[in-house]
Structure 1
């Protein structure tokens, strides 16, 4: 199995970094207006490839450079024979610099200029959002808010330029309201805020256009994060050695399933088996033994009645998955205490995270993967869920700084914080919002940690295989009714490319 690095991943940037890249490009000899024209031309190409039959377009332009891109796109549409409705949120005499120049270009091309007002009918077959771009810092308000509402209540598809207006380019948070785009064409550097938080519900398809700017050539502007790519699966899962045996492929111990809560641990242990672990042992409450044997007889199951039964189990495993169905009572506490005494790598999920927050608030170690959803992350950080969701990238980084190891902040656009920095998973779908999905992920992670030398690499591959398996399952039979137990068979196919 090969070693992976961020070098093959798409870099993601903050808005300030992209502005700096923009300025460096201009300083390098490309006129700022020429760069605006290049952006508009790329956006027009994106428009035409997606809606080749469209005969009319409505372009809503703000007062900044994003609006300038919109004016130039309106000119290109007019020159291509489309009927163009151009609506400006600012009066013509309030425009300045490149934006005024772009507006004049559109007027010279024969495009009409209307000031937008709340009862304006959006007449085009497609609407272009060129209102705000990446400069937004506070909540959307006033006429911009009304214009966004008008776009969202219209029935036409929407192309957003650079980022849907109302979405933070740095955090993915929706700032009051945001444009629900069908497609977003983004320029120069891809933005982290397009891929996590609220953003996936607003961006539609993302079309990245670098405009000839090689962002990674500027070594003093390091990416703020990286975007996972499914091509990594083919790189990582090379054919096994002909002399492989179960002892060389990792022994995973799943600890969980308190009395009455057996399902989560059963899901995790079977997922570990399906993801290629050499051996899987499940340590669970006595009453779940029969269910485990019936469900997956390949999993070795051990009855745990209390702390004494759990004490020696972690020492025999290469990796311990602790948390699924654990509970927070004395049984779960004893299991977690036993796991924490082991030197083996840990995958920590569910109630094990809640127990860490309440009983081990300062514990830190380098050889664990923590897998919180936003609620668990909030408890670990001592803040609110809304605080976590307002800046998911910073929440993931803060948790990794405080607790060490690898942190996976789950949710739309799951984030992985580790020694190589922050990585974003762009895969997954709303059908995965159902019980047991996190338990499946924990089992998958345990299996991969047992097969790879790197916790971070295992986290990248596990999160990606989990999300892509969800996408494959949804493609086969739809999002509604997707069960966690559906994922393992799809993931198995993905890791055997």
Structure 2
């Protein structure tokens, strides 16, 4: 088995089925692919659990189950004592899955019917080849009860392709999910494995290409893009020798009503550390001195009304607005002035709440950065609906509001006219105050340096997440603060290893 790092393109379930078909056109039969997938899963099983002699292989009725039957046969041939638990008898299967099931049966692998009343309670490890990627709607009650019963066993689980019960397209639960210790996926990585609850349920995610050539993948249109450091090098080439501060843009951060000065300060600091040539902050007078003490490179200005904001807008390249803005008359007036300025915008926090209330026309020069609750308000829906299909939500937001939309959360999504990006970096330590304010500053700095909305949002989110990963590797996830990322942001932007 040659498990490789995850590819930078992610697919829907329909697209992965098309990859299977195209692989067949390229000379790889379904039986060959199933044999290779089962062998890869078997080799991972014995690598991870070398002491196990009696694994339980859970086999469904489709091709995913066929992979499981291959695992069972190979385990038997290797001298182990696998036991198959199947959700339908062998003769009810079709195609390649039937072929593989018969081969396992002919070798004498024990087969038992699988139900909530007949579970592999004695097995030390489960191989989950039950439902696969073809699940398109809510689980039937009997399947839901079965998955819940299996999950309650608390066994280590190797999931084949996708944990049973996880929607491969959206990363949402279809009613119940069998949580895996590790998941081995094949040919093309399903996008739902990396967003929503996908990363929680998959455990460690591994990929095996099964020998399918790159030219096959190139025939699939519009897969989801997973930004990598290679994209950073493409979008942020080395600086020219004659560059100076005005070359790299002027970010104006607007926010910080009375008592809320910390958020825009973080945004301004992030913009400075992310390479903007100049950074200004328009805020309440009480926040000016603390900011100058914290980051003297940022030009802090006391702004009590719109007239005082006007000259700052005239000098800015990009506006980042929302952190600490508030929802009172001051914040509303400043946001209205920013919208009327014609400048590119990065919109976050309180400004998103006001946008949801005002419902302005779509525009192509802004980046919106909602968390799921803010996204729900922008769509006039519920947070559950947003999280139930994050891809559909971010596509709806971009269609309604234009520009680029960044939907925060586990597996952050970015949608623009060019497509959809998914950020697979990041860690739980980022669940602390100020992280979103930092991200707003990073994206604004990239916009100021000339990146269009979509790549600025996607690259900014990746850099932000990788900076958090670097800080967590150094000092741990628990207690990670937004300010801990500032040095790491600079390292990531310049391609330095941590």
TM-score (norm 2): 0.93
Partner of residue 356, structure 1 = 355
Partner of residue 111, structure 1 = 109
Per-residue deviation, residues 304-360 of structure 1 (Å, max 9, x unmatched):
11222223321211111011011111111111111112232111111111111112x
Tell me if 1:323 matches 2:346.
no
Partner of residue 3, structure 2 = none
Partner of residue 240, structure 1 = 239
Task: Choose from 384, 402, 410 the match for 1:404.
Answer: 402
**1:225-374 equivalences in 2 (<5 Å):** 225-359=224-358, 361-374=359-372
Counterpart CA distance in 2 for 1:131 and 1:102 is: 15
Counterpart CA distance in 2 for 1:438 and 1:455 is: 17
Counterpart CA distance in 1 for 2:311 and 2:294 is: 25
Partner of residue 15, structure 2 = 17
With 385-394 and 203-212 compared, the bigger mean Cα shift is at 203-212
Tell me how far 1:461 sits from its aligned partner. 1.6
Q: Relative to structure 1, is the Cα distance of residues 280 and 28 closer, same or farther in structure 2, using a 3 angstrom cutoff? A: closer
Tell me how far 1:121 sits from its aligned partner. 3.7
Per-residue deviation, residues 162-191 of structure 1 (Å, max 9, x unmatched):
111111111111111112112111122221
RMSD, aligned CA: 2.1
Tell me if 1:204 matches 2:203.
yes
Q: Relative to structure 1, is the Cα distance of residues 260 and 137 closer, same or farther in structure 2, using a 3 angstrom cutoff? A: same
TM-score (norm 1): 0.93
**1:460-479 equivalences in 2 (<5 Å):** 460-479=458-477
Counterpart CA distance in 1 for 2:280 and 2:103 is: 69
Tell me how far 1:458 sits from its aligned partner. 1.6
Tell me if 1:437 matches 2:435.
yes
Asked if 1 retains the 8 angstrom alpha-carbon contact of 2:19 and 2:216, the reply is: no
Partner of residue 170, structure 2 = 171
Counterpart CA distance in 2 for 1:216 and 1:204 is: 30
Q: Relative to structure 1, is the Cα distance of residues 448 and 27 closer, same or farther in structure 2, using a 3 angstrom cutoff? A: closer
Asked if 1 retains the 8 angstrom alpha-carbon contact of 2:235 and 2:451, the reply is: no
Partner of residue 138, structure 1 = 137
Unaligned runs of 5+ in 1: 1-7
Tell me how far 1:490 sits from its aligned partner. 1.5
Tell me how far 1:198 sits from its aligned partner. 1.6
Paired residue secondary structure (1:313): helix
Partner of residue 5, structure 1 = none
Counterpart CA distance in 1 for 2:488 and 2:240 is: 23
Counterpart CA distance in 2 for 1:52 and 1:363 is: 60
Unaligned runs of 5+ in 2: 1-5
Q: Relative to structure 1, is the Cα distance of residues 318 and 52 closer, same or farther in structure 2, using a 3 angstrom cutoff? A: farther
Counterpart CA distance in 1 for 2:189 and 2:43 is: 18
Count of residue pairs the alignment pairs up: 489
Partner of residue 3, structure 1 = none
Asked if 1 retains the 8 angstrom alpha-carbon contact of 2:347 and 2:366, the reply is: yes
**1:31-110 equivalences in 2 (<5 Å):** 31-110=29-108
Partner of residue 413, structure 1 = 411
Tell me how far 1:92 sits from its aligned partner. 3.5
Counterpart CA distance in 2 for 1:156 and 1:235 is: 44
Asked if 2 retains the 8 angstrom alpha-carbon contact of 1:127 and 1:151, the reply is: no
Asked if 1 retains the 8 angstrom alpha-carbon contact of 2:7 and 2:189, the reply is: no
**1:367-386 equivalences in 2 (<5 Å):** 367-386=365-384
Asked if 2 retains the 8 angstrom alpha-carbon contact of 1:58 and 1:122, the reply is: no
Q: Relative to structure 1, is the Cα distance of residues 16 and 319 closer, same or farther in structure 2, using a 3 angstrom cutoff? A: same
Counterpart CA distance in 2 for 1:47 and 1:354 is: 49
Tell me how far 1:222 sits from its aligned partner. 0.8
With 114-123 and 175-184 compared, the bigger mean Cα shift is at 114-123
Tell me how far 1:288 sits from its aligned partner. 1.0
Task: Choose from 468, 480, 491 the match for 2:489.
Answer: 491
Counterpart CA distance in 2 for 1:415 and 1:92 is: 41
Tell me how far 1:233 sits from its aligned partner. 3.0
Partner of residue 152, structure 2 = 153
Counterpart CA distance in 1 for 2:297 and 2:89 is: 71
Partner of residue 457, structure 2 = 459
With 224-233 and 214-223 compared, the bigger mean Cα shift is at 214-223
